[in-house]
Amino acid sequence: MPPSRTLALIGYRGTGKSTVGMRLARRLKWDWADTDNEVERRAGRTIKEIFATDGEPVFRQLERESILELLQRDRVVLSTGGGAILNAETRRDLRQAGPVVWLKASVQTIATRILQDASTNSRRPNLTARGGIAEIREVLARREPLYQECATIVIDTEGMRLGAVVTAVLEQLPADLVQEIST
């Protein structure tokens, strides 16, 4: 059996991983999976509830298990949780499975998008005691080197419409993958 082909999207929450992932999957005629949705489905609880009752380490283990299972599938666009890259083995596994796209945006844009997403507050916990823009700056500063290490493609989504982001990703995919898609 040939190895699976995966296109993974990484980046901070609010950078568009789920929205872009769904659209990319449609364009590629591939499946789409969201690791946060998968963890919640398996646990029967929101991420916020998992953090509150079991703590972040349990959530990260559930996230790792979900990603490993999803990476076994062929032709899947995988929208990962913002912290999936905290695990070195996950970063390695994502890169081995196929292109990894880091979706970036400014702190202010991320904050605005998070505030506009009603499900974020109900489903996801604050990651620091400070919350808001201060949290985004703090967590992003720690994670950016890991996103950079993992990414094979970097897309700055600042000021871009959804269609333009999808096109930018498609234009940067490896030639062998693009050729396979177009045949």
Which residues of the chain register pLDDT less than 50? 1-2
pTM for this predicted structure:
0.89
Which pLDDT score, from 0 to 100, does residue 180 have? 59
Give which of 41, 42, 40 is closest to 51, Cα–Cα.
40
Q: Give CA–CA dist 94/100, Å, rounded.
A: 7
The β-bridge partners of 31 are 76
Which pLDDT score, from 0 to 100, does residue 2 have? 44
Residue written as token pair 């005629």: 29
Architecture field, domain 6-174: 3-Layer(aba) Sandwich (3.40)
pLDDT tens digits for 39-51? 999 999 999 899 9
What does the domain layout of the chain look like in residue ranges? 6-174
Strands 31-34 and 153-156: unpaired
Which pLDDT score, from 0 to 100, does residue 1 have? 33
